[in-house]
Structure 1
Amino acid sequence: MKRWLTFAWIAALRFLAEGRMQTGFILSGIAIGVGVIVFMSAMLSGLQANFTNRVLTSQPQIQIVPPKEVARPLRWDLGVAEAAVVQQPTQRVLSVDQWQTILASMRARPDVVTAAPTVSGSALAVRGDASRSIGIFGMEPEDYFRIVRIPDYIVAGVSDIGSDDILVGLDLANDLGATIGDKLNVIPAAGASRTLTIRGIFDLGNKGANERNTYVALRTAQSLLGLIGGATTIDITVTDVYAAETIAQDIQSSLPVEADSWIKTNAQFFTAINAQNLSSTLIRVFVALSVAFGIAAVLVVSVLQRSKDIGILRAMGSSRGQILRLFLIQGGILGFLGSLAGSVLGAAALVVWHAYARQANGTELFPLTIDPSLFVSSAALATLTGVVAGLVPALRAARLDPVEAIRG
């Protein structure tokens, strides 16, 4: 066995060395193919991580809300409904029933990282002659900012707020002509109006959110919306973000509340991610096929050019299995060496592209994360592709009749 390994490897390396030009071309082709796979995989992974991080840092992963109010038809004692049509009631701003107990139970769960009560509702922000409809989010900063990282998006002022302070979006501030230290008269649909001071201005990167979202202290929102001691939602982050929907369903089945996960509320985001993954997979498949055909073409030409050499080897006692393995080894060597060069090429292209690709605000387009497992998997895939691509020409070489090969 050892003797066969020595012969096969020596013969394979000699064949590759003698056909330097062919070997160089196919190695270049494999390197480009593997480089494309490494570059695309790393860049798409970085983009997905960046998008996911933006989604997760601007909203809770799970949100607990009160059950929706439903109309119950009046019935006779015999069980017949009085009215054929039941009108859907309007949804009022309600507090989660016994939210303190639910909050404590959420914080005790091992799969929950952070849980924070919030109060949200609609109001009108007035400054001089300008007015805008806004959404008020009352929260406790020390807990809520671990879920929605508003301090990371502050572009003016600070995120520390007191009972008479408010944080507003960049577009809302521009619409109202307001800046840090200005006063806003906040008028809710129900409850007492209040004058608040702009303490900070944030930019969430979403015009709709920047125009509507405002953040105040929890007690301030409770007073504005007439929910003293109440909480309209409980926002949660979990240990495994991709298990959020499963955790939400478990919470909903065990408590008299509704629980919405970020996976459910961002269905379009996941549709885009799945489409991106499918496109990436198709690119890898077609690149791998092109690499395989390139290796197979070179090895077929090598079999044709070296038919006499193969015939001599067969006449000297080499078995069909040895000839078969010789060409399989060539395919594996081409795939492995090409993958090494391609990994370096792909990583270099990734570093260069990361240095120049920027978003509109000047921040990086995607985080530069180079996973060593990507190079290992690319090398394994290219080597396996080389071996598989060498199978057909190897079978052709092994079937050559030594007498006909020497004559031909």
Structure 2
Amino acid sequence: MRFVWTVAWRLLRDGRFQTWLIVGGVTIGVAVVVYITAIIDGLQVNIIDRTLSSQAHVVLRPAERLNQRAWDARAEVRTLADVRKRTQREATIGDVDAVLAAVRAVPGVQAAAAVASGPGVAQQGGVRKAIVVLGVDLADFQQVIRLDDKRREGTLSLAAGEALIGSELASDLGLAPGARVRLQSASGEVLSVRVAGVLDYGVQDLNRRRVLLPLRDAQSLLGYGREVTEIDVRVQRLFEAQRLAADLSRVTGLTAESWQAANGQLVTALRSQSASGLMIRFFVTLAVALGIASVLVVSVVQRQREIGILRAMGTPRQRILAVFLLQGGIVGLGGSLLGTALGAALAVGFTRVARNADGSPLFPIVLQPELFVSSAALATLVGVLAAWLPARRAARLDPVEAIRG
């Protein structure tokens, strides 16, 4: 093995210009892979965070009531009372504590919260705005949807008779923390509440319409008694929400909708980004492999006489093969180490250049240890595989023809 290392190193050192040229190519290739991957992963994390920061991963609701066929035993025919879809009144979930306990017992569920929601109107000084009332237990709800990073004014509390409103609604009605606002439900029930805090969800429609109330106040205002309209769920593994939605539906008998089903266009965009990143990495890797192979082929041609002498001295084909495979591995490993460092530096530099108006990064860059390890391993493997054909050619050289040539 020492012989293989010695010969491989001398060949690389003697052709140092070619060696540094291909190491530079591998470095740039790996840097591009690391940089593109970090950018795409960071962009996806940012998009998902912005989209899901104000919605649950899975939402459980009562199933819609469908028309039932009537059976006429004498005529032995089935008839429909009405071919039109049945008008749906607001369906609710009873026995909330039992349902929550069943949901939280499902493996993979991180948190669950009961929500009583319904339409209403907010009125202040003769101005009326359509709203969506959400009654929640604040402690449970914050485990599903984080609110502390959305507070803009006031306090994050929901005592009886208090409300948390969106920033657009506060601006439209001229409300500030401490002010009172009159809420009216679609059924005509009226409730006067004090604004405890103003939230910014990052979504204009939510800022204009969403009003959070204590669960009991919302149930009373909307006429639900002790029932709720949905169960919001947060899962431990984000991309397993679709599978968990099926499990939760089976356990509870409710209709379950995952964030993937509710955001079909987002999922399509994420898949397109991942596919684009994969294609970029594939062609960069292919270019690196061709570069390594071409340099080693030239090395075999240039070192043909030396290889012939080694073969004439009794060096086995396997050792000649190992020499050039080792060269490919060394070039791949050296380039990958330099490339991962360069790619990480470029990614960090991007976050310092691309910034929002407030000076914060445009979006986070994801640099995980797995990315460095996988990139280095892939580049080393590509180097060995790219050296395979040149190594076989060197090992198959006839000693007499090689020395004569």
Q: Specify the alignment match of 2:68 in structure 1.
A: 72
Q: Specify the alignment match of 1:7 in structure 2.
A: 3
Q: Specify the alignment match of 2:401 in structure 1.
A: 404
Q: Distance in 1 between matches of 2:184 and 2:102?
A: 34
Q: Specify the alignment match of 2:308 in structure 1.
A: 311
Letter in 1 for 2:324: F
Q: Specify the alignment match of 1:325 in structure 2.
A: 322
Encode CA deviations 1:264-300: one digit per residue, 9 max, x unaligned: 2223222222211111111111111110111111111
Q: Specify the alignment match of 2:381 in structure 1.
A: 384
Decide whether the 8 Å contact of 1:151 with 1:158 is kept in 2.
no
Matched, 1:218 2:218: no
What's the offset of the Cα at 1:91?
A: 2.0
What's the offset of the Cα at 1:361?
A: 5.3
Decide whether the 8 Å contact of 1:47 with 1:365 is kept in 2.
no
Q: How does 1:61-140 map to 2 (within 5 A)?
A: 61-78=57-74, 79-83=76-80, 85-140=82-137
Ranges in structure 1 where 5+ consecutive residues have no aligned partner? none
Q: Distance in 2 between matches of 1:196 and 1:181?
A: 10
Match of 2:293 among 287, 291, 296: 296
Matched, 1:151 2:153: no
Decide whether the 8 Å contact of 1:136 with 1:215 is kept in 2.
yes
Matched, 1:52 2:64: no
Q: Using a 3 Å threshold, how does the CA distance of structure 1 residues 326 and 109 change in structure 2: closer, same or farther? A: closer
Letter in 2 for 1:20: R
Decide whether the 8 Å contact of 2:167 with 2:198 is kept in 1.
yes
Q: Specify the alignment match of 1:357 in structure 2.
A: 354
Matched, 1:244 2:241: yes
Encode CA deviations 1:47-101: one digit per residue, 9 max, x unaligned: 3333334444322222221121223355544353455742212222232132232
Letter in 2 for 1:214: V
Letter in 2 for 1:335: G
Letter in 2 for 1:375: F
Letter in 2 for 1:11: V
Q: Distance in 2 between matches of 1:269 and 1:237?
A: 18
Encode CA deviations 1:129-168: one digit per residue, 9 max, x unaligned: 4332211111010111111112221122222122222222
What's the offset of the Cα at 1:255?
A: 3.1
Match of 1:43 among 28, 39, 43: 39
Q: How does 1:156-305 map to 2 (within 5 A)?
A: 156-305=153-302
Decide whether the 8 Å contact of 1:156 with 1:201 is kept in 2.
yes
How many correspondences in the alignment? 404
Encode CA deviations 1:154-208: one digit per residue, 9 max, x unaligned: 1222221222222222222233343333333222111412222322221221122
Decide whether the 8 Å contact of 1:57 with 1:147 is kept in 2.
no
Identity %: 42
- 3-state SS, counterpart of residue 231 of structure 1: coil
Q: Please, which moves more after superposition, 19-28 or 51-60?
A: 51-60
Decide whether the 8 Å contact of 1:191 with 1:226 is kept in 2.
no
- 3-state SS, counterpart of residue 342 of structure 1: helix
Decide whether the 8 Å contact of 1:73 with 1:86 is kept in 2.
no
Q: Distance in 1 between matches of 2:217 and 2:271?
A: 42
What's the offset of the Cα at 1:46?
A: 2.9
Letter in 1 for 2:23: L
Q: Distance in 2 between matches of 1:72 and 1:176?
A: 46
Q: Distance in 1 between matches of 2:244 and 2:59?
A: 11
Q: Distance in 2 between matches of 1:77 and 1:225?
A: 43
Decide whether the 8 Å contact of 2:25 with 2:288 is kept in 1.
yes
Matched, 1:21 2:26: no
Q: Using a 3 Å threshold, how does the CA distance of structure 1 residues 329 and 131 change in structure 2: closer, same or farther? A: same
Q: Using a 3 Å threshold, how does the CA distance of structure 1 residues 187 and 333 change in structure 2: closer, same or farther? A: same
Decide whether the 8 Å contact of 2:320 with 2:394 is kept in 1.
yes
Match of 2:139 among 125, 137, 142: 142
Decide whether the 8 Å contact of 1:158 with 1:199 is kept in 2.
yes
Match of 1:343 among 340, 344, 350: 340
Letter in 2 for 1:139: V
Q: Distance in 2 between matches of 1:361 and 1:219?
A: 39
Q: Please, which moves more after superposition, 89-98 or 274-283?
A: 89-98
Letter in 2 for 1:316: M
RMSD (CA atoms): 2.2
What's the offset of the Cα at 1:237?
A: 2.1
Encode CA deviations 1:378-407: one digit per residue, 9 max, x unaligned: 111111111111112222222323233223
Q: Return structure 1 stretches of 4+ with deviation > 6 angstroms.
A: none
Decide whether the 8 Å contact of 1:119 with 1:221 is kept in 2.
yes
Q: Using a 3 Å threshold, how does the CA distance of structure 1 residues 394 and 227 change in structure 2: closer, same or farther? A: same
Letter in 2 for 1:277: S
Q: Specify the alignment match of 2:27 in structure 1.
A: 31
